[in-house]
Amino acid sequence: MKIVCPYTRLQWATELTLRIEEVNTRFVYTGNSDTAYYDLVRELWSQGETFIVVEHDIVIWPGALRVTWECPHPLCVYYAPGPVGVIGLGCVKYGKDLISSFPSHLDNIDPSQRSWRMLDKSLTWDLINKGISFHNHEPMVSHLNPDRYFFEMITKGE
């Protein structure tokens, strides 16, 4: 499986679970510039092969990546809990058929939208506007940071 984990602060539980699931997981530091994450995805896109991106604080359950890797849908996601009342994308599979259908997708992202702060929208959500839908896999994967956030909320409230 071609698994990539872009990180600025890689969580040890994320690293451990990914190394167990796919020993050749590629961990890529993306803290050097605002567009390092974009550059990475653009490189992956240009290779034309299916790949899965797992964020640096996501902990997947055993077998989760294999399920999406083998799924025939072009765009597979696991949601993860986000800040209170919000869910985010924890893990996304970009299938090779999707990439070949939109070979210029990354080139077409406006330079002003290439920062990691805004990339989610252009990279994934804009595909929805092009008629692609997320294939949602369940159960959700785990997200370390919001858990900590909730924990703080609970303890402060007591």
Q: Which CB atom, from 38 or from 69, has the smaller least distance to Zn ion?
A: 69
Diameter of the chain measured on Cα atoms = 53
Q: Which CB atom, from 19 or from 73, has the smaller least distance to Zn ion?
A: 73
Cross-strand pairs, 96: none
Tell me the closest approach of the beta carbon of residue 74 to Zn ion, in angstroms.
Answer: 9
Interatomic CA distance for residues 16 and 20, integer angstroms: 6
What is the enclosing helix (H) or strand (E) of 68? helix 64-70
Tell me the closest approach of the beta carbon of residue 127 to Zn ion, in angstroms.
Answer: 14
- What is the sign of the dihedral through the CA atoms of 106, 111, 116 and 122? negative
What is the enclosing helix (H) or strand (E) of 79? strand 75-81
Q: Which CB atom, from 55 or from 146, has the smaller least distance to Zn ion?
A: 55
Interatomic CA distance for residues 46 and 41, integer angstroms: 9
The residues that touch Zn ion, with contacts defined as CB under 5 A, are 71, 73, 76, 135
Tell me the closest approach of the beta carbon of residue 29 to Zn ion, in angstroms.
Answer: 29
Tell me the closest approach of the beta carbon of residue 95 to Zn ion, in angstroms.
Answer: 9
Q: Which CB atom, from 102 or from 134, has the smaller least distance to Zn ion?
A: 134
